Amino acid sequence: MNPKSEDTGRLGAVGDSGWLHGVERIPSPNHDPRPEGETISLLVIHAISLPPGKFDGTAVADFFTNRLDPTAHPYFATIADRRVSTHFFIRRDGHLIQFVSCLERAWHAGVSCWQGRTRCNDFSLGVELEGDDLTPFSLAQYVTLNALIAALRARFQLRGCVGHADIAPGRKTDPGPHFEWSRIVRLDVE
C-alpha cells in the first residue's frame, strides 16, 4: 500500500478534524471544502473494483490518490485522468480505509439528486465497497459498514442511506443487485 498510509488501530469515533480514529488513512488530494453552513445528512454507498471484477491490490487506492498507472491495465487508460475520491473504502476482508476527512467534500457522487436536492457531494459522505454488480459482498464488509454507520451517526445527523444508483439513476448501478440492504442499519427518512 502507500508508504504514507497511517494505520491508527481500532475503529473509534470521528475526531474534530473529521478523521475516524482507528482506521488506515490514505489522504486523497481530490476534495474541497463543503459549502459554508452545509450539514452532512446523507450516506451514499458505492461499489468499485479495479480493474472491473478484480479485487485486492492497490488500484482503487491509487485511483483515489491520482497514482493509477494507465499502462498497468487497458481499462486504467480510460480512467487514469479522472479526479475522484471517497471518504471511506471497505475491502473484501472488512479492512477500512479513509481517504478524505468527513468535514471535506469528497468527489464521489457526480451529477446527483436526493429528495429534490442536487449536488449530493455537498451534503453526503461516500462509502465505497470493494465489489461489483456480479458478486455478493462479504460478511466482513457488512460488519465494518455497520460499525462505520454507528460511528458516523454518533457524530452527524444522517437522515438517509442510499446507493449511488438511487441518486444517479440511469447513470450508475452501484452498489448493485447483490447488496443486501436488510443487512445494514437503515437511516430511513420519514
Q: Enumerate helices (H) and strands (E) in the chain, giving the number of each.
A: 4, 11
Contact assessment for residue 28 and residue 65, using Cβ atoms and an 8 Å cutoff: yes
d(CA 186, CA 176): 17
| CA-based max dimension of the chain | 48
Q: What nine digits make up the cell of 67?
A: 497514482
From 47, 45, 43, 44, select the one nearest 136 (Cα to Cα): 47
Q: What nine digits make up the cell of 73?
A: 491495465
Residues classed as catalytic: 128
Q: What nine digits make up the cell of 56?
A: 485486492
The runs of H, that is alpha helices, within the chain are 59-64, 74-79, 139-155, 164-167
